[in-house]
Structure 1
Amino acid sequence: MKIVIINYGAGNIQSIKFAIKRLGFDAVLSSDAEEIKNADKVIFPGVGEASSAMKMLLNSGLDSIIPTLKQPVLGICLGMQLMCNSSEEGNTTGLGIFDVDVIKFDTSVKVPQIGWNQISNLKSDLFDSIAEDEHIYLVHSFYAPLCNETIAQCSYGLNYSAALQKGNFYGTQFHPEKSSDVGEKILENFLKM
């Protein structure tokens, strides 16, 4: 199985690669359109700021490749947010895969949300063998509101999308690669799709 982690200059690439290695698989880092298109599974990571990350995607031409992919694709954290219509962070236009706009937490909660939270309302094969209210790890100031594509939610001042799915595209606001055994199982479920 060929697993490609999209390498476009944003963030948590090595920790994802190590998590996949712990599951017994190898992943390659690539920004090559053909290599990404020919992968069995694609992981679209992201740590950083939305508008500068989007600029990196535009400069590499990956903004037009990612939405056309047919294999399972997993966006993580900022990767998931960039798959949405837009983000208030840097007034960024996203890839438009998920039909929701990313907005900033209001001042009633401390931002960024850093640490462990619980996921609930699990609605996808991505969460096979994962119990309701398991703990996952998050670091973010912006969120996707609940929408038709929500497959898991978290609560932080309000309920929001912890994960999204549309067809072959999946996104997690949390970091499965930093979410201990639960995150590892979610990654494994994705790799077995």
Structure 2
Amino acid sequence: MKRKRTKRKLKTTVTINIACEGLSEKSYIEGLLKEYNLLTSNITITNLEGKGMLPFVAYFENNVKLYRIFIFIIDLDRARQKEIELRNLNKLIDKVEKSNLKNNIFLSNPDFEVFVAASIGMEYDDLWNTKYEKGNGVYQFIRTNGGSYERAIENLENLFYYDKQDLDKKGSRNKENIDIKHSNLVYFLDYMKKLIEL
């Protein structure tokens, strides 16, 4: 029996911008929030078409006065491979935490596809041998292949480079986890529910 999900409403003064690295992430986040009745008119989802960490820093600086809360969805591959990218990621983390502790950054290593693979119970390297394509169809691809958010949680370890599950505390950075395939998107829904209950 399918559980009935109740519609939640944000206070009208709480505006959230979810800034995604690419179209795949945007498509997935939009579909996920709709499925769980968490997508409200107060939430804007943006595709930043990211090419490195500096564009994220610039986007945040240019838009910080437009939204109360920022959520970033980013791949860790560049930051893992280049020290300058890791410094810029940490600069972004510092800025978003200083601006508002409710801001958050969700990172997948090496990229978002580690979460996609976990959602359908597949090894990351095997995903590329399927009909998977980046872009607008990611959410539908997961659903068509029997995938779910809950399955991703079951298949991914709770080891993160950046771990921020509480609304009013700074996150921890764990450099020892930077080379592990992981995604802190496993607590994204819980975090969004907490924001909506503000």
TM-score normalised to structure 2 length: 0.41
More strand by share: 1
Structure possessing the higher radius of gyration over alpha carbons:
2
More helix by share: 2
Higher relative contact order (CA 8 A, sep 6+): 2
